Amino acid sequence: MNIAAMKIAVDCRHLDSSGIGVYIRGCLPFFLDTENYFLLIGDPAKLEEFVSGRKNAEVLECNLKPFSLRELFFFPLNCLSKINKCDLFYSPFFNIPGNIRVPVYTTIHDIIFPDMPELVSPAGLAVRMGAYRRAFAKSRKIFTVSEFSKSRIEHYSRQKVPVIVTYSAIQHGIVRRQKTVTEKKNTIVFAGNIKKHKGLDCLLDAFLLARAGGLSHQLVIIGSRDNFRSSDNAVLRKIDSLDPGVVTFTGFISDEKLADYLSRAALLVQPSLYEGFGLPPLEAMVLGTHALVSDIPVFREIYDGFPVTFFNAGDSVDLKNKMIEILFNKKTSSPLLPDELLLKYTFEKTAKTILRELE
């Protein structure tokens, strides 16, 4: 089949999610700049900016929660009717509605739950593994965002389905602000979902040690305090033990406000224990902010050749020493990314790879 003649259904219900939302929002404009016709499934208000003025796209309203029983067993018949008239169905995550009759393609960003089963209950792990296995079984091809994630997917799927790497990339709003000069503040920024595998506990320990050594910077957590669960009480106690304002939460912020925090920070720290890609360090460097990241395999892969500083993952003393080295020695000058690094990860490349593989 000629790819130019294809009608492609795209699940856009994750548009507001963190990494998944960035991925699909980044790809959509390049999808729509082709001769294919697209059925975009999701919230019409959120999709308006993508389809406005275009003749090769329509929105199919559906706000049914992903990974719900209703999605699996009672997906709206009117939606299924339209989807099953398309040539294929693409999901930017591993949830697949029930009764899809056309070829299915998915993106699995990571496979963290079987790799870190301590993050969920045994019952929660069983449910998630069921969703992974269903995606393995139903997908013609699986896309993922790093060679590391590809290796883990192939490990669990037993290579029953082709896995293609389609890296995540920098949001357009970040790229647009690349050459904007901003005054640095005495802030250290942590960006990402506030979950155990993000390593915030290690960062707080390192931050407390650095404060004891004379560090005067403020730690800014991009996210909401309300996102902490009861298991994170120890982290909250560490935060509450500090003077007011030493550690602050931004709450939910826009992409524009995120860019502002990143560009004005003296340092971004990404202490993750596990990632599929890990975008904030790339965004920080594009905006002229030094990035200090854990030496996990995926970061070694993604940031090979980039001017990042690595520390031993989970080692708060090493993290503290690297923070002090960077901040006290004023090694916070704007990292200059050459064109080959700026263009290494782009959503244009990602979208082209996906569309080529759909043919």
Which domain CATH number covers 204?
Answer: 3.40.50.2000
Same domain? For 143 and 207 the reply is no
Number of domains in the chain: 2
Which pLDDT score is estimated for 307? 93
- Per-residue pLDDT, averaged over 128-149, amounts to 96
Residue 292 bridge partners (DSSP): 269, 309
Check: CB of residue 220 under 8 Å from CB of residue 250: yes
- Per-residue pLDDT, averaged over 96-114, amounts to 96
Q: Give the phi and the psi of residue 221 in degrees, each rounded to 5.
A: -100, 115
Which pLDDT score is estimated for 2? 46
Which pLDDT score is estimated for 3? 46
- Per-residue pLDDT, averaged over 98-110, amounts to 97
> Can you tell me the distance from the alpha carbon of 100 to that of 102, in angstroms, rounded to the nearest whole number?
6
Lowest mean pLDDT: which of 50-54, 90-94, 332-336? 332-336
Please give the structure tokens belonging to residue 57: 């796209």
Residue found by looking up tokens 């990035």 in the block: 291
Same domain? For 65 and 20 the reply is yes
Lowest mean pLDDT: which of 14-18, 86-90, 223-227? 223-227
Report pLDDT digits (tens) over 160-198: 899 999 999 988 767 666 666 678 889 999 987 667 888
Report pLDDT digits (tens) over 266-307: 999 999 999 999 999 999 999 989 999 999 999 999 999 999
Which pLDDT score is estimated for 154? 96
200-212 vs 316-328: helix crossing angle, rounded to 10: 60
Which pLDDT score is estimated for 331? 52
Q: Look at residues 63, 88, 87 and name the one whose alpha carbon lies nearest to residue 76.
A: 63
Which pLDDT score is estimated for 191? 87
- Domain containing 109: what range? 3-169+344-358
Residue 263 predicted with pLDDT over 60:
yes
Which pLDDT score is estimated for 176? 66
- Per-residue pLDDT, averaged over 251-256, amounts to 82
Q: Look at residues 67, 100, 106 and name the one whose alpha carbon lies nearest to residue 83.
A: 100
- Per-residue pLDDT, averaged over 64-88, amounts to 94
Same domain? For 224 and 336 the reply is yes
Which pLDDT score is estimated for 75? 94
Same domain? For 188 and 335 the reply is yes
Residue 336 predicted with pLDDT over 70:
yes
Same domain? For 188 and 268 the reply is yes
- Per-residue pLDDT, averaged over 113-122, amounts to 92
Residue 341 predicted with pLDDT over 90:
no
Which pLDDT score is estimated for 256? 84
Residue 53 predicted with pLDDT over 80:
yes
Same domain? For 152 and 190 the reply is no
Residue type, 175: V
> Can you tell me the distance from the alpha carbon of 109 to that of 60, in angstroms, rounded to the nearest whole number?
25
Check: CB of residue 291 under 8 Å from CB of residue 285: yes
- pLDDT band (50, 70, 90) for residue 230: very low
Same domain? For 152 and 259 the reply is no
Same domain? For 186 and 308 the reply is yes
Which pLDDT score is estimated for 313? 96
Arithmetic mean of pLDDT over the chain: 90
Same domain? For 197 and 334 the reply is yes
Which pLDDT score is estimated for 242? 76
Same domain? For 337 and 351 the reply is no
Q: Where are the beta strands (DSSP E) in the chain?
A: 7-11, 37-42, 57-61, 88-91, 104-107, 139-144, 163-165, 187-191, 218-222, 247-249, 267-270, 291-294, 309-311
Which pLDDT score is estimated for 179? 61
- pLDDT band (50, 70, 90) for residue 1: very low
Check: CB of residue 180 under 8 Å from CB of residue 260: no
Same domain? For 200 and 239 the reply is yes
Check: CB of residue 201 under 8 Å from CB of residue 163: no
What string of DSSP letters covers 225-243? GGG--GGGHHHHHHHHTSP
Same domain? For 51 and 131 the reply is yes
